[in-house]
Amino acid sequence: MDLAAQLQSLRDQGVAAVAAAGDSDELEVLRVEYLGRNGKLKALSKAFADEPGERKRTLGPILGETTEALRSAFADKMSALSRADEEESIDITLPRQQQQVRGSIHPITQVAAEVERVFCGMGFDVIDGPHIEEDQFNFSLLNIPDDHPARDAHDTFWMRHGRLLRTHTSAVQARVYAQEQPPLRKVVIGKVFRYDEVDATHDTTFTQVEGFLIDRDIHAGHLVATLKTTIRAVLQRDDVELRLRPSFFPFVEPGFEVDVRIPGSPGRFGQWVELLGCGMVHPEVLRAGNIDPSIYSGFAFGLGLERLTMLRHGIDDIRFLNAGDLRSLHQFAS
């Protein structure tokens, strides 16, 4: 092989070997091998010195380029390795970076707190119930027996041993009636689960507020007054309109659905929006809990907290609330 070809292959080999070096120790070994006093480049330089004068004229630039290529390959690799070293090392004495993003209370939680505040002001206890529920509390004790067609309305997530993810917070009514006697004023706020198609107004998991009051001489007027007070307080507007439509839920009689409208509001919320189901607690439900319906009566309602939050903030897609996107949620930081 003539000297030009040898220089060329030394250059190619050396540059490749340097690029592949994993750390500075390996790089040093290569440096000695290629650029050292007894290294490969030196050997070829000596051979160059023995070449006749006219060959030197053509070989000189090749030798120069080879030397330059190898040196700069080493220099580049050296600085790349030391940069990587710096990035890896952690200086524990450095002061902590100022926190840029502050957490904030989720809009649902904010509205839930507001609802609790309003109900506490009206003398209600705030209570809780399990997400994993037994059939009897979710259905049977609420006047929804096994073969009742109303069970079809609840697309339910069933679990083993006849347990299920509660489809509504009304299950907590059944739990309370089984244990306590009137007067009762309770409010429950919690997640419920339905095997539902997800769209702008439905999600498989959402939050309900269940309120119920059982006492002597309670009638639908108390129900309507309680709902008006609460909804107006939470939406912070006195002009919110409510509309009751007759509806069927097996655990109330009579039953209603309540729509609300915020006059002058742009888009959907200027129209009637369905917000909750309610009614007078069915005598069968009271009887199932050993409460005498000839003495006591009461009302109950179940309200979608996401809907209420959407109304309050003018949000038109329920998925927004559970997507966990901090950029959007921060708009509602309080």
Q: Which residues bind ligand PHE (CB under 6 A)?
A: 168, 170, 249, 252, 255, 277-279, 300-302
Backbone angles phi, psi at 79, to 5 degrees: -75, -30
Given the complex with ligand PHE, which of 108 and 278 has the nearer CB atom?
A: 278
Q: Do 187 and 126 contact (CB within 8 A), yes or no?
A: yes
Distances (CA, A) of 280 to 118, 214, 254, 296: 21, 9, 6, 11
In the complex, the smallest distance separating the C-beta of residue 135 from ligand PHE, rounded to whole angstroms, is: 15
Shortest CB 93 distance to ligand PHE, Å: 57
Report the nearest approach of ligand PHE to the CB of residue 315 (Å): 21
* Other CB atoms within 10 Å distance of the CB of residue 213: 23
Q: Return the structure tokens found at 8.
A: 């060329």
Instruction: Report d(CA 151, CA 137) in Å as an integer.
Output: 13
Question: Among residues 17 and 285, whose Cβ is nearest to ligand PHE?
Answer: 285
Strand segments, DSSP code E, in the chain are 125-127, 132-134, 163-165, 184-193, 205-215, 241-247, 252-261, 273-281, 297-304
Determine the length of the chain: 334
**Nearest residue (beta carbon) to ligand PHE:** 302
We find the least distance from the C-beta atom of residue 301 to ligand PHE, in angstroms, to be 5
For residues 145 and 263, which CB has a smaller minimum distance to ligand PHE in the complex?
A: 145
The least distance separating ligand PHE from the CB of residue 326, rounded to whole angstroms, comes to 30
Write down the least CB distance from residue 147 to ligand PHE, Å.
Answer: 20
Instruction: Decide whether 18 or 280 has the Cβ nearer to ligand PHE.
Output: 280
Q: Which is nearer to ligand PHE, 14 or 302 (CB)?
A: 302
Rg over alpha carbons for the chain, rounded to the nearest Å, is 38
| 62 versus 278: smaller Cβ distance to ligand PHE | 278
Tokens of 13: 């080999």
CA 6 – CA 195 distance, rounded (Å):
75
